Amino acid sequence: MGFSSINGTSKRGQQLPLRTKIVDLIGSSSAEQYFAEAFLQDIWPKVDLDYKAMAEDIAAVCKTQLDERRIPAFAEYRVKSRDSISKSLERRELHRIKEGKGSYNGFSDILDDLHDPAGIRLVVDYPRGLEAASSFITESF
């Protein structure tokens, strides 16, 4: 289907898979506490453009596939802003504390709680395209 850029080098020249890049950045971080703050200041700025490139690539492949299947639709993408991620992590950390799990103990806790930093939206032009678009999504993802 053409999603190799997610797991390897993208057409934009990304040399490492995104997950590997994040793990490397975490390994080089000197944060000993306040992991959410360190993530937002030290790690996210170094990967947000990678998320944007990945989301853009996936949206383009989806649009191509929809066109090939003759499904009138368009594909949009978005990457969460640093502010949105900050608010989300704040809410999730408060929820962790209420459940007795405590504050974030490391970057792995943050990565577990960081949901949908990038997203793709497929919008069909006509209701008759919904079933075909749904099938495409189910088959592809």
- The whole domain housing 29 covers 4-140
Confidence of residue 3 (pLDDT cuts 50, 70, 90): very low
CATH of the domain at 123: 3.30.460
pLDDT of residue 5: 39
Reduced 3-state DSSP string for the chain: CCCHHHHCCCCCCCCCCHHHHHHHHHHHCCCCCCHHHHHHHHHHHHHHHHHHHHHHHHHHHHHHHHHHCCCCEEEEEEECCHHHHHHHHHHHHHHHHHCCCCCCCCHHHHHHHCCCCEEEEEEECCHHHHHHHHHHHHHHC
Whether 2 has a pLDDT exceeding 90, the answer reads no
What pLDDT is stored for residue 31 in this prediction?
A: 64
> Which pLDDT score, from 0 to 100, does residue 32 have?
66
**What is the pLDDT, as a whole number, of residue 10?**
46
Q: How many domains, in total, are found in the chain?
A: 1
Is pLDDT at 113 greater than 50 in this prediction? yes
